[in-house]
């Protein structure tokens, strides 16, 4: 799915670095596509802060409870080389690495849902 969205919206992927004037378009389109399969997909709040969403990571609520605010999430890095000269699609499970670093992910809809 990530590769497909990256092929369809390659310009949005190249322009996904918000800290350098980019936009949310690529990640929004990816999350929207993932949500056509399962609405438990959303955005990840960096280090558990839902007010600071990751620019290159999505979150999946694996629990039975409500999505918004849950820390029961898989954390998936979907852009390798983000903010670099050649960002590319990826699917890297960062859930354990995040836990190993002593922090958490938190599901957020980023005000979209």
Q: What is the pLDDT of residues 37-49, one digit of tens each?
A: 999 999 999 999 9
Q: What is the pLDDT of residues 63-95, one digit of tens each?
A: 999 999 999 999 999 999 999 999 999 999 999
| Spatial separation of the C-alpha atoms in residues 50 and 44, rounded to whole Å | 7
Mean of per-residue pLDDT scores for the chain: 98
pLDDT band at 24 (very low <50, low <70, confident <90, very high): very high
Would you say 7 and 18 are in contact if contact means Cβ atoms under 8 Å apart?
A: no
Look up the pTM and report it: 0.96
Per-residue pLDDT band for 36 (boundaries 50, 70, 90) equals very high
């Amino acid at each position: 799915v990530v590769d497909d969205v990256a092929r369809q919206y390659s310009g949005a992927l190249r322009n996904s670095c918000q800290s350098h004037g980019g936009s949310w378009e690529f990640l929004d389109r990816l999350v929207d596509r993932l949500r056509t399969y399962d609405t438990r997909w959303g955005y990840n709040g960096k280090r558990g802060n839902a007010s600071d969403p990751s620019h290159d990571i999505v979150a999946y609520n694996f629990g039975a409870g409500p999505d918004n605010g849950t820390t029961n999430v898989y954390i998936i890095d979907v852009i390798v080389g983000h903010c670099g000269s050649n960002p590319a699609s990826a699917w890297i499970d960062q859930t354990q690495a995040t836990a190993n670093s002593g922090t958490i992910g938190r599901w957020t809809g980023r005000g979209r849902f």
